[in-house]
Structure formats: C-alpha cells, structure tokens
Structure 1
C-alpha cells in the first residue's frame, strides 16, 4: 500500500441555491481533531444565522483513515453528514473536512432532496479544491565518518530528500524524514559497515 496521497492545499468555498435554500460548501485541510473544531467554529461565526452546519471529515490516508466522523446538525438522520462523508471517501484525498452550511428557504426538500443537495455542495467544494502531494514519513538518521558526509548528502538528494538537521561529534549524524518508498534503499545502506542507519518505529 502506498504511503503517498493527496491533501488539500488551502481551502475552497462554493454556494448553491436549491429551491430557495442556500447551501454553502467549504472544503479545507485538517490534520488533527482540534483543526476540525477550528474549521467548524469559523464557519459558525461566518454564518451565525444559518440553520444548519453539517460536516464530515477524514484524517490520515484515504485508504485507511486514522479518524473519520460526520454530523447532520439537526437535519434528518443520514441526509447531510453521511452524503458529505460519501463524497470525501470517493475522492482519494486525506486530511480533509467539508462543512456545508444551509440557510433554509421555506421549501422542504424531503430526505432525497437533502441528500442530493448536500452531496452536490460537497462535491463542488471538493472538486474546486487545490491539492498537493503528501507522503507519510518517519524520522530517520544516518551516522558516518566526516569523509562520508558528502556521499550521504548526495545520496539523500538523489532520493529527493532534504536534510532536516546535522549534528557533529566524533561522527556526523544527518537527520531527515524518510518516506516509505526509500525503505529498501535505506536497508541496503544499513548493510554497509561505514553507515549506521536509524529509523523510528
């Protein structure tokens, strides 16, 4: 399973009008539960007189999220949060939250109409979102003699990896974030006696 996936790069906001009800969709990045609360509170403050702020999110890889949740915020059960989450789950995007705010326009949409409306607002918000590539990494280090430092820096550069920190004592310890894709190459390097490789569990 790949540890690379797409995440939101910024946020997007869309607005739909369906039978006089306004549906405002926001898609944004969330990395932890406190981010979820911040995004939701910001939307409630932005639209304080709206009747509903329905939402869903998933944190982590879209293939196996660490956390996912949804909320209908007073709409009939299963007509808002679940359709929003369904959109998210079919988009192959991680660390994402969608909030759909509704201003009731006086005409009831029925359960099917609500599902379609919340799905449409979520779909449009997500489709207008700019995305960036994200790789899950582990903290790692390579220790070596001073004479090998340039070799290690060059080797990391060839892997497309930046040095996070470098410490000098009786040896040089170069610290970096190691994506899963270089696990095999790191293992090969660790077999050489002149290098000591450490990767967090």
Structure 2
C-alpha cells in the first residue's frame, strides 16, 4: 500500500548547552500557512527567547513550496537548514519543527549551533509517534438520500468527507484510500441497483485536478 508516514501528534525535547536552552517541538501540519501560524504563536509564547528557528516539510501533494526553513537571526545556515536536513531524513512528511533558544551568554560558534539545532530535532524525533496515511483519491458524489444513508452506514469510518451539501440530493466531496477504490465503486453500483436510484453519480478526480 502506498502512502506517507506522518507525525501523529506533537512531540517535544529540551536540552541545555553552555547555559543556552533549546526547546524543540514537532508539529503535524498540512500547509505552509499552518506552519507559519505555529511559528507566530511560538514567538508570542516565548517573547524573551533570543531566537525561534524553524523548518517545515509539507505533505505529498501540497501546493506551494514543499519545504521552508528560517534561522531567525542566527548566523546563516546554522539553524533552519540543518533542522530541515534532519526532517528530510526522518521518513516523514507534513511536519514543522520549531526550536526556541534562550541565550545563556556563551557563544557556541557556527559548528556548535549546527550541532545544537540538529540534535534538538533529532532527539524530538526519537520521541515522536508516527502514523501511516495511505494515498487517498478524491471523488465527487451526487446521491439521493436513501443511497447516501446506505453508503454512510458502510463507509462512515473509511471515507473522509471534505464537503457536503444537503439539497434535493446530497452532494459530497470525499477522499477514499486508493486500495479501497474498486470496493467503493462496487458498493456504490450495488446500492444504486438495489435502491433503484439511477440518478446517483460518482466522479473520480485525478491528481492534476486535485492540485489545480
């Protein structure tokens, strides 16, 4: 089964190096905007911190930049980029790493900073819980209420509903695991025939349509 490993929930690690405190938190994210909001919140929560450095690795299929990083005032290349390199080696996507630094008065040098920020992320990853998310296909459905109710009984824990409108018929945009596509189509057709509702429609969307 194809898919991605993602962060199941936030994970944190703290270390002290030459009186400087480094607080790393890993966050699951779905977009660059979500990661940027997390970074803003961290800066608000730690107003006395010297730096809030960050790195983001977006999930497969995300639009825009697939990755981003920031040194937040540390010497160029000593924080965000090394943090991103650790994330890229984790085997996961869809996560943001922030490292809040409280300066202890002793300079670490460029090499020391690279090691400190990299190690903070690396240790946080050892504490992280991972989750496998299968590749999901998008589909649009227009269903009479009887067909919707029958499909919902079978698929309510297996499909993800992105949009739904209840009018004369039910209009849905859902995501289905790629491995479930054939079973879903068969169930849909059998339900239409059994309930004698030929008005029901199912349209699959390809990746190019999803990303447009």
When normalised by structure 2's length, the TM-score is: 0.72
Equivalent runs, 1:155-194 vs 2, <5 Å: 161-162=158-159, 164=161, 176-183=174-181
Question: C-alpha separation between the residues in 2 aligned to 1:47 and 1:122?
Answer: 18
Structure 1 residues 50 and 166: alpha-carbon distance in aligned structure 2, compared to 1, 3 A threshold = closer
When the two chains are superposed, the root-mean-square deviation of aligned CA atoms in Å is 3.6
Structure 1 residues 163 and 141: alpha-carbon distance in aligned structure 2, compared to 1, 3 A threshold = farther
Question: C-alpha separation between the residues in 2 aligned to 1:161 and 1:142?
Answer: 18
Question: C-alpha separation between the residues in 1 aligned to 2:24 and 2:108?
Answer: 18
Shift of 1:6: 2.2
Residue aligning to 2:205: 200
Equivalent runs, 1:4-153 vs 2, <5 Å: 4-61=3-60, 67-137=66-136, 138-141=138-141
Is the 2:71–2:78 Cα contact (8 Å) retained in structure 1? Answer: yes
Shift of 1:130: 2.4
Number of equivalenced pairs: 195
Question: C-alpha separation between the residues in 2 aligned to 1:155 and 1:13?
Answer: 38
Q: Which string of whole-angstrom CA distances, capped at 9 and with x for unpartnered residues, describes residues 93-147 of structure 1?
A: 1210000111121222111111111011111122222233323421344879x79
Shift of 1:161: 2.6
Structure 1 residues 174 and 46: alpha-carbon distance in aligned structure 2, compared to 1, 3 A threshold = closer
User: Which aligned segments of 4 or more residues in structure 1 are displaced greater than 3 angstroms?
Assistant: 140-144, 152-157, 162-169, 171-176, 182-197
Is the 1:189–1:197 Cα contact (8 Å) retained in structure 2? Answer: no
Question: C-alpha separation between the residues in 2 aligned to 1:112 and 1:128?
Answer: 25
Is the 2:160–2:176 Cα contact (8 Å) retained in structure 1? Answer: no
When normalised by structure 1's length, the TM-score is: 0.75
Q: Give structure 1 stretches of 5+ with no counterpart.
A: none
Q: Which string of whole-angstrom CA distances, capped at 9 and with x for unpartnered residues, describes residues 77-107 of structure 1?
A: 1110011101110111121000011112122
Q: Give structure 2 stretches of 5+ with no counterpart.
A: 207-212
Question: C-alpha separation between the residues in 2 aligned to 1:172 and 1:104?
Answer: 57
